[in-house]
Structure 1
Amino acid sequence: MSFKVFAVAFAALATQAQAATKGEIDHLLNYVKTTECRYERNGTMHNGAEAVQHISKKYRYYKDDIESAEDFIKYSATKSKMSGKYYKVHCRDQAPVKSRDWLFAELAQYRASQK
């Protein structure tokens, strides 16, 4: 295989991977935005739309460091950089969970549905 063919094939695969990552992140943002659960950040409760505003702001800030949906969760939706407190999600009739665990579970379900 010539270098040109290899380079084109590699670029195509990289583009596909970027599109898949963007799709996963977009799905997670929509999941947060449309949830009926409450998002706790530094002791204050937020609805999904409010939570996604904050997460989106952090996503834009860390965008250059984010190469995967896992990175997105780690940098944008796990904990406060100022207080160090983990974000929590409170869903009706369930114990509160760390937002990262809630989002990783949804990411796994989303990936399984895409197969």
Structure 2
Amino acid sequence: MRLLFKYVALIIIALFSLTSAATPTPATALEVNHLLKFIATTDCQYERNSDKHTGKEAAEHIKKKYDYFKDKIVSAEDFIELGATKSAVTGSKYRVHCPGVAVQDSDQWLLAELKKVRK
């Protein structure tokens, strides 16, 4: 009886761990893809760890982070927070340098774009 109880407990734990992983909804995936395209096609420069990158380079890097954190992302805001806000290594904020505009934090820049998309 004890052995049966242990097996049942292990099965319940395994099932719970499978269902606890987040999965982006189709709507979230569309928003994230829009934001990645927005980054990739921008004329702004993306600053990571004091180095400036093109939008295309930034999007490639952030896409890798998205793929890594995908099981924790439920919303576009999660994507921004986990993958497009700061360096996972140094903790330095990503900054965006756009011509004729004050430098801004990446999260604020992306949240403003997300707000436009959702209107």
Could you say which TM-score interval applies, normalised by the shorter chain?
Answer: 0.7 to 0.9
Which among 67, 76, 82 is matched to residue 74 of structure 2?
A: 67
TM-score (norm 1): 0.82
RMSD (Å) for aligned C-alpha atoms: 0.9
Deviations 1:46-89 (A, max 9, x none): 00110001100100110000000000000000000111110000
TM-score (norm 2): 0.79
Alignment of 1:35-74 (within 5 A): 35-74=42-81
3-state DSSP of counterpart to 1:35: coil
Tell me, yes or no, if structure 1 residue 22 matches structure 2 residue 29: yes
- Structure 2: runs of 5 or more not aligned: 1-23
- Structure 1: runs of 5 or more not aligned: 1-16
3-state DSSP of counterpart to 1:39: strand
Partner Cα distance (1:19, 1:78) in 2: 22
3-state DSSP of counterpart to 1:75: helix
Partner Cα distance (1:35, 1:48) in 2: 5
Runs of 4+ in 1 over 4 A off after TM superposition: none
Sequence identity percentage: 51
Once the two structures are TM-superposed, the CA of residue 43 in structure 1 deviates from its matched residue by 0.3
